Every structure is written in structure tokens, then in C-alpha cells.
Structure 1
């Protein structure tokens, strides 16, 4: 009789332990809704911040790469090597981009691109073909073109002018910005430095 009660007690204890274990397991399986909400809130905030930063970057890029778009438009019209680009200050083409392009045979052309770079307003051949051939010779073996030089400086300010400069014996791009002064971009290495002569 005592033995029966003892066995029953053991069985009951095991059953309770099992039930408790199951309850604990179920409790562990329950999601921590507070933690989940907190993590979700942080993620949403981060996503919102990232979206705003991306929007700002796109706005800056749209403004700062205007000269890059003008260079691309000029080269699509007159294939060759762009050696200079700047905005016209006055005259009937005021506000438009003036891009100097040298073709493979050394002939230099000036291509006028609309302010928004969607239209070619005109193009004419320049008389100084010797200058064009000298520019091609100076750029031989370089890796950075006018567009890449402009984009390298765009983070510092809106680029308004880019021009090949080989007066020092080393090909470089002279890049001017609206408010951040002038910069020099090495045509071989892409290194950017402030133009101390500015």
C-alpha cells in the first residue's frame, strides 16, 4: 500500500515536472514583442535616414555633374577627346556650355551645348590644329579624362570649368568650382589638389 502511494507520488511529480517544462518551453517560444517592436522602430528610423541621405545625394549629383553631362553630349555629337569645357558668360549663348573637342587627327572643334545638356546649339572648327595635336600628345598615357576630373572635384563644389593644363610638363586638369575655388587633378593618377595659383 505504501509502495503504491510512493509510485503514484513519483508519477505525479514527473507529470508536474513535464508540464512545467512544457510551459517553460512554450514561454520561451513566445516572441518578445517589446524587443521586436524596438528593433523594428530602429530599423525604420535608419531606413528613413538613409532615404533622406540618398535623396540629398541625388540632388547634389544632379547639380554637380552638369558639366559631365555637357561633356558627354558634346562627345556624342563630335567624337574625340574633350580638352576643355566651361559656361558661356555672355552673348546669345550665355548659360550654355562650350566644349572643346579634339578629334583623332588633331582637329579641334568647339561644341556649344544647351544649359541642360539636352541639345547641341552649334559646332565649329577651330583654327589651331597644332594646339589640338599638342593636347593629344600631352594626354598620351594618361588615365583620367575631362569628365572624370570634373567628377573628382564635384564633391567639393559645383564644377563650372575644366581645362587641360600641361604647362608644367605633366598633364593635369585645371578644375574650377562656383564657391570652392580651383583644383588640379593629375591626369595620370587622379590625385586632387588645391590649385595654389588660384
Structure 2
């Protein structure tokens, strides 16, 4: 009984104090020496480490990051190609495209792809209605589409695009020279300067990087508001 109390106390101290605690061999009521099966410690980043293998348990963010990287590297259909496929199905102006790892085909009548994710392209039609079109990242097939009645920023999007000559697909191709494009979105709120295309890329071993593509010139620059600060300005551009 006393042995159980000692081990519990040591483990609790490790979890509360954020340090490493080792449970020493203790003597039970019957006089025999007993040793805990494994040590427990808390790592500096808050993860629980099992001393038996010396590795932190994976956090949810780590697993999600690996899933996103795997999806990006396995996608055979580029952002620009996904946008083109969506516009063939639903004419209008593509305002965003995102490589989504959520498999929600049931919502738009698509088929089951075994969790491969999809490109989700938002299209603003000429009559002002919004449509969400899902594209298979392996084949470019249209998996389904539906009208998005919740969108209410039609005027803002049209105002931002007015006078611009660079489409979402062209912005994706321009940023593709940096790395694999995983999303393109119209930034029209003005918080980061004039309206521009915001493009996210992902490189193996380098994580995510955000870029801004000028609506008029197609110039690609690193997004200064990028929280990890890993990118630097780049004046190069691909004006397709």
C-alpha cells in the first residue's frame, strides 16, 4: 500500500512541476524490493514523455501537420488545374481554392474517395451567387458542387478584383515556383495592404509559407504578416 502511494506522489510531482522524476525502488509491506515498470516525465513543450523510449507523444498539431504535408505531396492536380476544372463545371470567377483534407463528399453528392481530401474551389458566378466545387486531387474529376448561400461578401470581392488582371489560377502558377501550392485566397480586407491574392505553399521539411501575389502585376512577395517569419521578400514573379 505504501509503495503505491510513493509512486503516485512521484508521478504527480512530475506532471505538476514540469520536470523529470524517477521512481526509485521501494520496499513493500512484505519486505520485498519492488521497482516501477517505467519512468514518467514532462517535456519542456508540455508533451508527456515515456522514458522507456525517450520520445514525446505526438501532439494533435504535429499529426495534422504531417497529414497536410502528405496530402500536398500526393496531390497530382495542381491548384491552377483544380481551378480550371471547377470553372469548366461552374462558370464564373474563382475567388479561392484550398486543398482540404476533410472528406465530406456526402454534403455535395460526391463519391467516397477513402479520405484523400479534395480541392475546394469557391466560384462567384455572374448573377452574384457563390458555389463551392470539390475537385479530386488525384484525377481532377469534379466530385460535387453546391450553392453557398452563406457568403455575403460579393460586393467586396468584386471591388477587389476590379481593375486586376491576375486570376486565382495565374496567382497559383506564379507562386508554384516557390513550392507546392496548397491554397489561394483573395485578401480584400486591406489589413495587409492593397488587395492581393494570398497563396500558401508547403515544402517538404520546411513547413508552410505564405505569399502575396499582386492582382495587377503578378509579383510574388513573402507575406510579412506570416507568423513564423520564415520567409523573406522575393521580387521574382511568373506572369502567366
Alignment RMSD: 2.1
Q: Give the superposition deviation at 1:188.
A: 1.4
Match of 2:154 in 1: 132
Does the CA contact (< 8 Å) of 1:107 and 1:133 recur in 2? no
1:88 to 96, 100, 106: 100
Matched ranges for 1:3-152 at <5 A: 66-93=78-105, 94-152=116-174
Distance 1:92 1:142 in 2: 33
Does the CA contact (< 8 Å) of 2:77 and 2:140 recur in 1? no
Does the CA contact (< 8 Å) of 1:65 and 1:159 recur in 2? no
Structure 2 stretches of 5 or more lacking a match?
A: 1-74, 106-115, 227-240
Match of 1:184 in 2: 212
Return the structure number with greater relative CO, CA threshold 8 A, min gap 6: 1
Q: Give the superposition deviation at 1:129.
A: 4.7
Does the CA contact (< 8 Å) of 1:106 and 1:130 recur in 2? no
Q: Does 1:196 align with 2:224?
A: yes
Q: Deviations over 1:116-164 (max 9, x none)?
A: 2431111111113531332122101101010000111111100000000
Q: Give the superposition deviation at 1:91.
A: 2.7
Match of 1:53 in 2: none
1:161 to 183, 199, 205: 183
From the superposition, tell whether residues 173 and 64 of structure 1 become closer, same or farther in structure 2 (CA, over 3 Å).
farther
Distance 1:122 1:65 in 2: 16
1:172 to 193, 196, 208: 196
Distance 1:102 1:74 in 2: 11
Aligned length: 137
Structure 1-normalised TM-score?
Answer: 0.64
Structure 2-normalised TM-score?
Answer: 0.53
From the superposition, tell whether residues 170 and 65 of structure 1 become closer, same or farther in structure 2 (CA, over 3 Å).
farther
The structure whose Rg is larger is 1
Q: Give the superposition deviation at 1:65.
A: 6.5
Does the CA contact (< 8 Å) of 1:96 and 1:114 recur in 2? yes
